Amino acid sequence: MLSFLNYLISGISLGSIYAIIALGYTMVYGIAKMLNFAHGDFIMVGGYAIFTCMITLGMNPFVSILIAMAVCLVIGVTTEKVAYKPLREAGSPLAVLITAIGVSYLLENLALLIFGSNPKSFTSVVSWSGITLAGGQLHIQGVTIVTILVSLAVLVVLQWFVHKTKEGQAMLAVAQDRGAATLMGINVNHTISLTFAIGSALAAIAGALLCSAYPTLTPYTGAMPGIKAFVAAVLGGIGSIPGAMIGGIVLGIIEILARTYISSQLSDAIVFGILVVVLLVKPTGILGKNIQEKV
Amino acid sequence: MSLLEVKDLEVYYGVIQALKGISFHVERGEIVALIGANGAGKTTTLHTLSGLIKPKAGTITYQGQDITKTPGYKIVGMGMAQVPEGRRVFPDLSVMDNLKLGAYTRKDKAEFADTVKLVFTRFPRLQERKNQMAGTLSGGEQQMLAMGRALMSHPSLILMDEPSMGLSPLLVNEIFDIIEQINKDGTTVLLVEQNAKKALTIANRAYVLETGKIVMEGKAEDLLNNREIQKAYLGE
């Protein structure tokens, strides 16, 4: 029973990381109407940025994360402006999608060029060792607790931002009707840039947490979690912020439990099997709404 | 100086020419109607005025300023708002949030409260439903919300695209009464309508658009009595 609880907690923790990544996916999809398949690689970019600041340059972990967020933000917004925006304005969603895959390879190969293919061993950004419960039988690592708390904080802040601020309302307006949003005086390109900025900065946070929990960093570190977070976003209902959170956590729990009780080799197959089932049974996801609208 | 002056406006969708060099003007305080059949270019004209489409040639001058190349999101801040075809309210936002977005370009909080009060006086049903999602409103209520939302930006000129579309005759009358009221309160109106009779009844002047060209213009009452117009647009 205690070991199950332990696995459940690590599932929630892994799921929280997926959730933070999925938030970026889902916001960009909801507002820019594109799947940014390079999103996962921003985790890796964030990871290397933190690695460089914290381990190579010996900076404070918190400051390192802030710098990594800034780096990801700048690269994310630049990618959108240079690679996606011209194609979006040319009205070609498929070209944008393919370009996103291209950007993904570009980032991975740039990392390969700069940092080499040898895995870097990462030091956790959380130095707290955690808590021990049930008379020493249940130990919860500090990074696990911090991960869960950070993802909850991100969710609360994002929900507040989207529903209570003017810029957030502009995002919702752009997501629902770009033309009408323009008529309200909203600069759609500015809003899309802001969305990429938030998504990319969140990816840096996810990078910090992921590399702290699984402390090896390679140029491909972000690819798999990125794809899984995409599954999480679809599972929760793509475009929905609480949906990304729920989808991420559900997926994390399923992955850890499948790895423990079924097979560690099959766990990924099970995760992607879920994507297939969701697409077949409820294509709009757990919190996704039906697209039928009154005209 | 006209409030709005459009000269030789040409708009293309790819290779298809939607507007073939139209010119018209709107004077302060008027209701000007733009009538014509489906596909004549009425909505294209309004979209171009609001900066959603860029013209290939021609100029748009608003309050003496050339706005031909002004990005769409800046137009409403200059005092030209649009009530788009098909209402286009934000369905998953509340009535109140829709109105807030209408005032997106306005900074003053006190002004916002006053304007909301004014909009609610004009559309009491919106007040009753202020916390309801806009997508759950009836067609007539959505039309009222779209109009209220446009008024939130304090426009000098309001562009209305088919406000009567899909509404019951009773509601159509109500909407047209409101348009006249808005005009009496000092807002100039450029009205696009398929319901030519109604539009000509409340308008001061009108232009008739046919396949991208203005084929006739004049005082609304003259057009109402014109045989050709009666045959082509008034079903008489």
**Is residue A290 over pLDDT 60?**
no
- Kindly indicate the confidence band of residue A286, based on its pLDDT and cuts at 50, 70 and 90: confident
CB A30 within 8 A of CB A190: no
Residue A295 pLDDT greater than 70, yes or no = no
Q: What is the pLDDT of residue A126?
A: 86
> In this structure, is residue A250 part of a structural domain?
no
Whether residue A217 lies inside any domain: the answer is yes
- Contact of A186 with chain B, judged by CB distance below 8 Å, is answered with yes
Q: Does A13 score more than 50 pLDDT?
A: yes
A74 touches chain B (CB under 8 A): no
- Give a yes or no: residue A203 inside a domain: yes
pLDDT band, very low/low/confident/very high, at A284 (cuts 50, 70, 90): confident
**pLDDT value at position A82?**
95
Is the model's pLDDT at A293 over the cut of 50? no
The Cα angle at residue A54 between residues A53 and A58, in degrees rounded to 5: 95
Domain containing A186 equals 21-127+140-226
**pLDDT at residue number B236:** 67
The pLDDT, as a whole number, for residue A259 is 93
> Residue A111 corresponds to which amino acid?
A
Residues A29-84: tens digit of each pLDDT:
999 989 999 999 999 999 999 999 999 999 999 999 999 999 999 999 999 999 99
**Contacts with B34 (C-beta within 8 Å, 6 or more apart), sequence order:** B24, B42, B45, B190, B191, B192, B193, B206, B207, B209
Q: In terms of C-beta distances under 8 Å and separation of at least 24 residues, what long-range contacts does A6-11 make, across chains too?
A: A6/A138, A6/A139, A6/A140, A7/A256, A7/A257, A7/A260, A8/A253, A8/A256, A8/A257, A9/A140, A9/A144, A10/A144, A10/A256, A11/A249, A11/A252, A11/A253, A11/A254, A11/A255, A11/A256, A11/A257
- Decide if A70 is inside a domain: yes
Domain-embedded: residue A242: no
On the question of pLDDT at A115 being above 90, the answer is yes
| A185: contact with B, CB 8 A cutoff | yes
In this predicted structure, the answer to whether residue A272 has a pLDDT above a threshold of 80 is yes
Position A279 in a domain: no
Q: Does A165 touch chain B (CB under 8 A)?
A: no
- ipTM of this model? 0.95
Number of domains in chain A: 1
Q: What is the mean pLDDT of residues A241-251?
A: 95
Where helices occur in chain A by DSSP H, the ranges are: 2-32, 39-50, 61-79, 85-89, 93-115, 142-164, 166-176, 178-183, 188-213, 223-236, 241-257, 267-281
Average pLDDT of adjacent 10-residue blocks, chain B of 236 residues: 95 94 97 93 96 96 96 97 96 96 94 96 95 95 96 97 93 95 96 93 96 95 91 80
Q: Rounded CA gap, B70 and A85, in Å?
A: 19
Q: Within a domain: residue A25?
A: yes
All residues of chain A having their beta carbon less than 8 Å from the beta carbon of residue B77 are 185
* pLDDT score at A294: 37
> Taking a C-beta distance cutoff of 8 angstroms, is the pair A18, A248 a contact?
yes
Find, in chain A, the residue whose alpha carbon is nearest to that of B103.
Answer: A184
Q: Given an 8 Å threshold on Cβ–Cβ distance, is B72 in contact with A183? A: yes
For residue A2, being part of any structural domain is answered with no
Question: How many A/B residue pairs have CB atoms within 8 Å?
Answer: 69
Give the pLDDT confidence score for residue A274 in this predicted structure.
87
The candidate with the shortest Cα–Cα distance to A20, out of A175, A215, A252, A189, is A252
At a CB cut-off of 8 Å and minimum separation 6, what does A283 contact? none
Q: Give contacts of A184 with chain B, Cβ < 8 Å.
A: 76, 101-102, 104-105, 149, 153
